[in-house]
Amino acid sequence: MKDQRYTDIIIESLKEWPDKDKKIVREGLFLLDLHREIEMVTDIIGSKLGLHVRQIEILEILYNHHEIELTPAQLADEVHLTRSTMTGNLDSLQKKGFIKRESHPNDRRMLLITLTQEGIDFCKKTMPMRYAHVLRVMKGMSGDERKNLRGIYEKLLGIIREISEE
């Protein structure tokens, strides 16, 4: 977690704000930092497999939807990445031999992304481990806690989406 002094400096810079609002801002900054730390630790777990979390998610989608051919844009939407970030991730996965890019049969301007046999083998080996990790995390909470957490995340996402559309 980030050194609390930095948050204190940020809060101190809000001298004009009422104290109550400063407390809420502090809590918001703490939650944002906690979210980033969860992502960082999750990425560390993925790095043990030689990939970033988003790359694992890309492979997971391709592996579990092998009957559907997906474009880079569709994959970007599925894993919530920008198109340019998706391109970099696909470049890395292709260098590792996990995916291949093929021309779309009906539109030569488009590409389709599919797993190679090496990508399929990697997924067969790693996906059970991924789901075991998810199970372990989720079993650490009660059913009510999971339900509440989901509701809180959905509410946060709704508020953040409203802000992004302003």
Phi/psi at 82 (5° precision): -70, 160
Query: Region 103-117: what's the mean pLDDT?
Result: 88
8 Å CB contact between 102 and 94: no
8 Å CB contact between 98 and 89: no
Highest average pLDDT, of 41-45, 87-91, 131-135, comes from 87-91
Query: Region 75-94: what's the mean pLDDT?
Result: 94
Which of the listed CATH numbers 3.40.1190.20, 3.40.50.720, 1.10.10.10, 3.30.450.20 matches domain 49-164?
A: 1.10.10.10
Task: Identify the pLDDT of residue 149.
Answer: 94
CA quadruple 49, 116, 133, 151: dihedral sign: positive
pTM, 2 dp: 0.80
Query: Region 122-139: what's the mean pLDDT?
Result: 92
Domain ranges of the chain: 1-48, 49-164
Alpha helices in 48-116 (DSSP H): 53-64, 72-79, 83-95
Could you report the per-residue pLDDT of 32-66, keeping only the tens digit for each? 888 888 888 888 888 888 898 899 999 999 999 87
Residue 4, H or E segment: helix 4-12
CA quadruple 36, 133, 123, 111: dihedral sign: negative
- Bridge partners of 102, per DSSP, are 112
pLDDT band at 27 (very low <50, low <70, confident <90, very high): confident
